[in-house]
Every structure is written in C-alpha cells, then in structure tokens.
Structure 1
Amino acid sequence: MSTTIAVVLLVALATYAVFGGADFGAGFWDLVAGGHHRGAEPRAVIERSIGPVWEANHVWLIFVFVVTWSAFPAAYQSIMLTLFVPLTLAALGIVLRGASFAFRKGVVSLRYRRIFGGAFAASSVIVPFCMGAIAGGIASGHVPSGGEAGDPVDSWLNPASLVTGVLAVAVAAYLAAVYLVWDARHFREFALAEYFRRRAVGSAIVAAVVAVAGLFVLNSEAPHVFDGLMSRALPAVILSVLCGFGALVLLMRYAARGARVLAVLAVAGIIVSWGIAQWPYLLPDSLTVSAAAAPHGTLVTLLVAVGLAVLIVVPGFVLLYVLDQRALLPEEGAEDAGDRPITSGG
C-alpha cells in the first residue's frame, strides 16, 4: 500500500513540474523580456497564456503536501524541520508572485507596473530554485530521519542543492518557452513564436549542460541517487533524454505541437527518474518508504480519497485546459489597466 501511495506522490510531483513549472518559467521570460516597450509584446503573450490557469496549477502542490503529511508523517516532519527556510521562501514567493501578477494588471502608473512586474518575475525564479534545492537536499542525505532537524543552511545550500536548483529554473524556462511557441502560433503571432522558439532552443541546451554537470555532483554528493540513475532508473533517464532531444529537433524544424508533447515527457521523465533512483528511500540511506508509512488504515483511507479526487477534480482540470487551449475562457479579472494610457507619475 505504501508503494502505491509513493507512486501517486511521484505522479503528482511530475504533474506539478509540468504545469506549475511552466508557469514559473513564463515568469522567467517576463523577467528577461527587456524594458517596458521592448518587452510589451512578449509579456502580453505570457499574460494571455498563463492567466486562466496559473492559480489552478498550484492545486498539485497542495496535493503533494497533503499526501506526504498523511501517508509519510515521519518524512514530512523531518523535511519541514530541516528545510523550513527554502520552504518558507517558496511559500512567500508563490504568494508574492500571484499577488503581483494580479495587481500589475490593475495599476495605471508605469512605476508601479514595473514594481509588481519585477516582483512577479523575480519570485518566478526564486520559487523553482528553492524547490530544486529542496530536492537536492533530500537526495544528498542532508535531511536526517527520526524527526530531527538538520542544518538549516547547509541542508539546501550545498553543491547538490545548488545544481538541482539551477536545473529546476532552467527546465521551467525551457518548458514555458515551448508552450509559449505554441500559444503564439495559435494566435497567429509568428514573430513572437520565433522569439520564443529561439529561447526554447537556448534554454534546452542550458538545461542539458546543467543536467550533465549535475550528474558529476550527484556522484560525489548523493551516491545512492547517482547509482540508481545509472541502474534501475536508467530506462527512464534514456527516455527523458530521447524526448528532450526529439523536442529540440522538432523546435528547430518549427514543429511546435510535437515539440510540446516531447518536452512534457522529457520533464516528467526527470522527476520519475529521480523517484526511481531514490527508491526505496524517502530520505536516502536513513528512511525507507515502508518505514515512513502511516498505519494501514490511514493509507487505505487516503487511497480512497485520491480515487475520489481523480473522479471529481481531474475532469474539471481537463475541461479547464481544453477551454484554455481553444481560447474559450474570458479574460481574467477586470479590464487590464495597461490597455489605458500609462502615466509616468506615481
């Protein structure tokens, strides 16, 4: 039963990486789009792309926390006690990001639009970095078991955490750029599609370089995970690499639809590979999945709740994404104040 719940948790993490990660990556491209005039068109595509779905995507993160807390309380306790700094930064970043994204559309002053836009973009980089750093800290064994608190600094500012944090930012930027290529073409904005296509190719190369560098770091900092990647998780690693390479080829051949599917599989493959490589540990070398599991009755109840969620909630998500892709959803919130003349004063 604990294995089944662990698989559910891994699938939820991969889903959040694919959907929520793309939202954070869109914020990265917002950050580097340039000044008000030069970056206006790319930012308009970004806002139109993530506006209807960005709040819904974080449901997957809440699901991950609830499942971990309910099914593996011992691991949850150790992770929270040790990694409370990056977890707090990520939580604050998510709140700041959402508030800034909403407020930027409602202010007229260029000064305040820049402030809110900067907060949105900066937090879109901080959050995935913290998430990646948390994964690196867990994988490298910096989180002790038994409900004890590890070092609050070294647990997430170590070589493994730093490289996985940078990889998370790069992968999120890559995935967002691939999505934005499709969205720009869908609205027949071909110049912007080319703009994001170039950035998708560039970020794919950066992500690949960081991933290769990360293997060397994991070899020394997280040997259990590295050995798992080179053995039991190797098929998933190879599949992820092939999908990533295929997406890159399709992007260079201007095949946006196929590139999007392969990019999703490549990113999901990274998460699945990590989960398989770390097996059977939740906290490598100290706490296994079976040892961390809650009582059998709790796991059964949780599994029933997950099944009901699949039947009730998932169809709503599917409908939301279908309507969004077909541009059948109304603009989010009130009229964008940015559509009116912008004054230079406060």
Structure 2
Amino acid sequence: MSTAVAAVLLVAIATYAVFGGADFGAGFWDLTAGGPERGAAPRHLVERSIGPVWEANHVWLIFIFVVTWSAFPVVFQSITLTMFVPLAIAAFGIVLRGASFAFRKTVVTVRVRRVFGGLFALSSVLVPFCFGAIAGGIASGRVPAGGKAGDPVGSWLNPTSLVTGGLAVVLAAYLAAVYLVREARKAGDRILTDYFRRRAVVSAVVAAMVAAIGFVVLSTSAPHVFGRLITWALPPVVLSVLSGFGALVLLVRGAARGARVLAVVAVACIIFSWGVAQWPYLLPESVTVSAAAAPTGTLITLLVAVGLAVLIVLPGFVLLYVLDQRRLLPEEGAEDAADRIVDTEAG
C-alpha cells in the first residue's frame, strides 16, 4: 500500500515539473528578454501562453504536500523542520510571482510595470531553484530521520543542492522555450518561433552539461543514489537522454512538432530516475517508504481520495488545457491599463 502511495507522489512531482516548471521557465525568458522595446514581443507571448493556466498548475504542488503529510508524516516533519528556509522562500516567491504577474497589467507607468515584471521574473527563477535545492539536500542525506531538524543552511546550500537547484532552473527554462516555440508557430510568428527555438537548443545543451556535473557530484555526496542511478534507475536515465537528444535534433532541424512531447518525456524521466534511485528510501539510507508510512487505514483512504480526484478533478484539467490550446479562453487578468490609455489618447 505504501508503495502505491509513493508511486502516486512521484507521478505528481513529475506532473508539477512538466506543467508548473514550464510556467516558471517562462518567467526566466521574461527576465532575459531585454529592454521594454526589444523584449515586448517575447513577453507578450509569455503572458498570453501562461495566463489561462498558471494558477491551476499549483494544484499539483498542493497535492504533493497533502499526500506527503498524510501518508508519510514523520518524513514530512523532518523535511519541513530542516528545509524551512527554502520552503519559506519558495512560498514567498510563488505569492510574489502571482501578484506581480497580475498587477503589472493594471499599472500605467513604465517604471512600475518594470518593477512588477522584474519581481515576476526573478521569483520565477528563485522558486524552482529552491525546490531543486531541497531535492538535492534530501538525496544527499542532509535531512535527519525521526522528525528532527537538520542544518537549516547547509541542508540546501551545498554542492549537491546547488547543482540540482541549477538543473531545476535550466530544465524549467528548457521546457518553457520548447512550449513557446509551439505557441509562436501557432500564432504564425516566424521571428518568435526562431527566437525561442534557439533558446530551447541552448538550454537543452546547458541542461545536459549541468546534469553531467550532477552525476559527478552525486558520486561523492550521495553514493547510494548514484549507485542506483547507474543500475536500477538506468532505463529512465537512458530514456531521458534519448528523448532529450531527439527533441534537440527536431529543434535544430526546425521540425518542432514532436519536440514538445520528447521534451516532456525527457524531464519526466529525470524525476522518475530520481525516485527509482532513492528507492526504497524516502530519506536515503535512513528512512524507508514502508517504515515512514502512515497506518494502513490512512493509506487506503488516501488512495480512495486520489481515485475520486482522478475522476472528478482531472477531466477539468484536461478541458482547461484543451481549451487553452485551441485559444478558446480569454487572456488572464484585467484589460491592460496602459493599452486603455493609449487607445484613449489615439481617439
């Protein structure tokens, strides 16, 4: 029973990575788009692409916290007590990102709009870094067992966490760039299509380099995880490499139709390989999945709730994404205040 719940949790983490991660990555490209004039077109595409769905994607994060807290309470306690600093930064970043994304459409002056835009973009980079750093701290055994607090600084500011945090930021940027290539192509904008295609290629190469560095770091800081990565977790690792290479080839050749699917598979397989590499531990070499699990009755109830969520909530998500892809949803937020001013002056 605990194995089934752990599998559900891993799938939820992968889902949040490929959907929510792409939203954060879009903020990275917003940050690096350039000045107000040069970056206007990329930023408009980013805003139009993530607007209808960015709030919905955080449901996966809430689901992850609820499942971990309900099914593995002692591990949840250990992680939150040890990682309260990056968790607090991530929570603040999510709130700041959402507020900035909404408010920058309602202000008129360029200076204030740039402030909100900068806060949106910076928090979009900070949040995935914190989540990646937490994963690195867990994988390298820096979260103590028994619901005890570990080092609040060294647990997430260490070589493993820095590499995994950086990898999370790069992967989010990579996914966003691949998605935005598709969005620009659907809009018939060849300039933006090439713009994001080049960035997708560069971020794919950077992600491969950071992942290779991560392997070297894990070999010394997390020998258990590294050992299983090159044995039991090798199939998802190989599938990730092949999918990432296939997406890269399609992007380089300008045939991006299948690149999005391959990019999603590549990133999801990285998450799955991490889960397999840690198995059977939730906290490597200290707490196993079965030892940390809540009573059987709790696990059964949780799985029933998950099943009901799949039947009730998942169709709504599918409908949301289908409507968004078909451009049948209104743009997120209020009408742009600056556009109203311009229209009034023109009239």
What is the TM-score when the length of structure 1 is the normalising length?
Answer: 0.98
The corresponding residue for 1:312 is: 312
Letter in 1 for 2:108: V
The corresponding residue for 1:58 is: 58
The corresponding residue for 1:136 is: 136
Letter in 1 for 2:51: G
Quote how far apart the aligned CAs of 1:73 are.
0.3
The corresponding residue for 2:89 is: 89
Percent identity, aligned pairs only? 77
C-alpha distance in structure 2 between counterparts of 1:332 and 1:84, whole Å: 32
The corresponding residue for 1:198 is: 198
The corresponding residue for 2:345 is: none
C-alpha RMSD over aligned residues: 0.7
Quote how far apart the aligned CAs of 1:254 are.
1.2
> C-alpha offsets along residues 63-83 of structure 1, whole Å, 9 cap, x if unaligned?
000000000001000000000
**Partner SS, residue 334 of structure 1:** coil
**Where do 1:211-226 residues align within 5 Å?**
211-226=211-226
**Partner SS, residue 306 of structure 1:** helix
Quote how far apart the aligned CAs of 1:337 are.
1.9
Letter in 2 for 1:253: R
What is the TM-score when the length of structure 2 is the normalising length?
Answer: 0.98
C-alpha distance in structure 1 between counterparts of 2:54 and 2:71, whole Å: 27
The corresponding residue for 1:292 is: 292
Quote how far apart the aligned CAs of 1:339 are.
2.2
C-alpha distance in structure 1 between counterparts of 2:288 and 2:150, whole Å: 18
C-alpha distance in structure 2 between counterparts of 1:117 and 1:334, whole Å: 16
> C-alpha offsets along residues 151-181 of structure 1, whole Å, 9 cap, x if unaligned?
0000000110000000000000000000000
**Partner SS, residue 55 of structure 2:** helix
Check whether the contact 1:247–1:258 (CA below 8 A) recurs between aligned residues: yes
**Where do 1:107-256 residues align within 5 Å?**
107-256=107-256
The corresponding residue for 2:26 is: 26
C-alpha distance in structure 1 between counterparts of 2:248 and 2:335, whole Å: 37
The corresponding residue for 1:73 is: 73
> C-alpha offsets along residues 14-53 of structure 1, whole Å, 9 cap, x if unaligned?
0000000000000000000000000000000000000000
**Partner SS, residue 282 of structure 2:** strand
**Partner SS, residue 43 of structure 1:** helix
Runs of 4+ in structure 1 displaced over 3 angstroms?
none
Stretches of structure 1 lacking an aligned partner (at least 5 in a row): none
Quote how far apart the aligned CAs of 1:6 are.
0.2
C-alpha distance in structure 2 between counterparts of 1:102 and 1:240, whole Å: 35
Quote how far apart the aligned CAs of 1:334 are.
1.6
Quote how far apart the aligned CAs of 1:331 are.
1.6
- Indicate yes or no: 2:265 matched with 1:265: yes
C-alpha distance in structure 2 between counterparts of 1:203 and 1:340, whole Å: 37
C-alpha distance in structure 2 between counterparts of 1:340 and 1:178, whole Å: 32
**Partner SS, residue 236 of structure 2:** helix
Question: How many residue pairs end up in the alignment?
Answer: 342
Quote how far apart the aligned CAs of 1:341 are.
4.9
Letter in 2 for 1:235: P
C-alpha distance in structure 2 between counterparts of 1:331 and 1:210, whole Å: 35
> C-alpha offsets along residues 299-345 of structure 1, whole Å, 9 cap, x if unaligned?
00000000000000000000000000000001222211242457xxx
